[in-house]
Amino acid sequence: MTGRIPIVLGLVACFGSSGCAGFGFGSGEPAPEPLPAVPAAQVTAAALPPPTPLPEKPAEEPAPITPAALPAPEAQLAIQRSELLGGWTIESGGERCQLFMVLTGWSGGYRASTRGCQSPELKGVSAWDLAGKEITLKDSATAPVAQLYATEPGRFNGRLSTGAAVSVYR
């Protein structure tokens, strides 16, 4: 029984490969010539040289943000809450996305949300409130994100809490 194991293993190997010519089965072609032996080279060990440090780029100081000017009091228009409802475009620092304001009560004001915004400030808008002529956009912790004033019908201008200019318009 022990004499059959090598033949069985050979047949299993044969059917798992591309042919069985070496065992007298398959395409009828003679078995390929064996490959020549590769000479073995002696392996030696040596220490690697120390790594070359990458050139360090000096840290650049971020440019100070000059807070955007708020509209002058005489340019600020009186508005009603109902004028703020619905969809708006919000724009700041070259980014333009959508702002939605509704009258659903929310911490510190009413519910708001943005869509398509990339900056953390604009993405984080969750609420809005109106006090006098000032519109405040807030995050989910009720921290102010933006301070805006109506400067013409359907347009509000102001600044983000970072000081960058922001506009909301239809």
- Higher-confidence position of 36 and 121: 121
Q: For position 162, what pLDDT does the model report? A: 93
63 belongs to a structural domain: no
The rounded distance, in Å, linking the Cα atoms of 161 and 165 is: 10
| Percent of the chain residues topping a pLDDT of 70 | 75
8 belongs to a structural domain: no
pLDDT tens digits along 66-88: 678 888 888 899 999 999 999 99
In the predicted model, what is the mean pLDDT of the chain?
Answer: 82
* Structural domain total, the chain: 1
37 belongs to a structural domain: no
161 belongs to a structural domain: yes
pLDDT band at 46 (very low <50, low <70, confident <90, very high): confident
Q: Could you tell me the CATH number of the domain that includes residue 77?
A: 2.40.128.10
Comparing C-alpha atoms, which of 158, 151, 16 is closest to residue 92? 158
Q: For position 89, what pLDDT does the model report? A: 97
Its domain, for residue 110, covers 73-169
The answer to whether the beta carbons of residues 99 and 91 sit under 8 Å apart is no
5 belongs to a structural domain: no
pLDDT tens digits along 137-152: 999 999 999 999 999 9
20 belongs to a structural domain: no
92 belongs to a structural domain: yes
Give the predicted TM-score (pTM) of the model: 0.61
Q: For position 53, what pLDDT does the model report? A: 77
The pLDDT of residue 22 is above 60: no
